Structure 1
Amino acid sequence: MTDAEALITRLFDAYNRRDFPAFAASLNDDVDWPDQMYGERGVGVAALRAYWVAQDQAIQVELTPIDFGLEADGRVGVEVNQVVRGLRGSLWSDIRLRQYYTLRDGRVSRMDVVRLEEPSLAP
């Protein structure tokens, strides 16, 4: 496992534990992150914290990294399985994504995401 893969794996672990301080420790202060709920972007750890709090009040998300790869532009690409549930545990979607991480000084400075497939919605 490369240093970049280890960093991003720790990021996923902290995310799934809902441990924001550990999650934020892997980010640059001016991190640029997508707001997938509203199709916007947040810049900075404080903006990401606000996004995290809003998301936790609406849904439960679990991310599982499947495959890592280094992109031609230097970003780290990660194929991810994303499971989204309502607050009572009902399945909303189970999809594959490709997340792209830009690293600077050993931390994440930007994340971009692309959906690899259409969501499979629960009946």
Structure 2
Amino acid sequence: MADFDHRLVLIAAYAAFNARAIDAALATMHPDVNWPNGWKGGRVIGHDAIRAYWTQQWEELNPHVEPQRCTTDDDGRVTVDVHQVVSDYAGHTLADEQIQHIYEFENGLIKRMDIQRI
């Protein structure tokens, strides 16, 4: 699949995440997606696990991620430079940082995501 298609998938995924539209976000992911638990550590596998992770996370935190730049390496992994702001529901900013999300795709869907601090 071309880079352009991957970028469209990622744009849809970020928009859905920021809108708290879990079903729309999961539609961009492979059923066996491997996802980092950036909140408490470890990884979650599959749609049900991501749904549970995000639902629990959003009860306590209000993260917002804005993709800034997207590149693809020779192995087809897509790196997205992201501006991430995490607040609590009292309006206190807990994190305001630039990070990288690194994606692997399978059949046009997100198969794996990793977080890299920069």
Shorter-normalised TM range:
over 0.9
Give the aligned partner of residue 65 of structure 1: 67
Identical pairs, percent: 32
Q: Quote the offset at 1:8 in angstroms.
A: 0.3
Matching residue within 72, 75, 78 for 2:77: 75
Give the aligned partner of residue 58 of structure 2: 56
Give the aligned partner of residue 47 of structure 2: 45
SS of 2:60's partner is coil
- Residue-pair matches, total: 116
Matching residue within 4, 27, 32 for 1:25: 27
- Separation (CA, whole Å) in 1 of partners of 2:20 and 2:28: 14
Q: Quote the offset at 1:28 in angstroms.
A: 0.6
SS of 1:2's partner is helix
Q: Quote the offset at 1:38 in angstroms.
A: 1.4
Matching residue within 84, 87, 92 for 1:85: 87
- Separation (CA, whole Å) in 1 of partners of 2:115 and 2:74: 16
Q: Quote the offset at 1:73 in angstroms.
A: 2.2
Structure 2 residue identity aligned to 1:31: V
Q: Quote the offset at 1:108 in angstroms.
A: 0.3
SS of 2:39's partner is coil
**Could you tell me the TM-score, scaled by structure 2's length?**
0.95
Matching residue within 100, 110, 113 for 1:108: 110
**Could you tell me the TM-score, scaled by structure 1's length?**
0.91
Q: Point out where structure 1 has 5 or more consecutive residues left out of the alignment.
A: 117-123
Structure 1 residue identity aligned to 2:70: F
- Separation (CA, whole Å) in 2 of partners of 1:6 and 1:64: 14
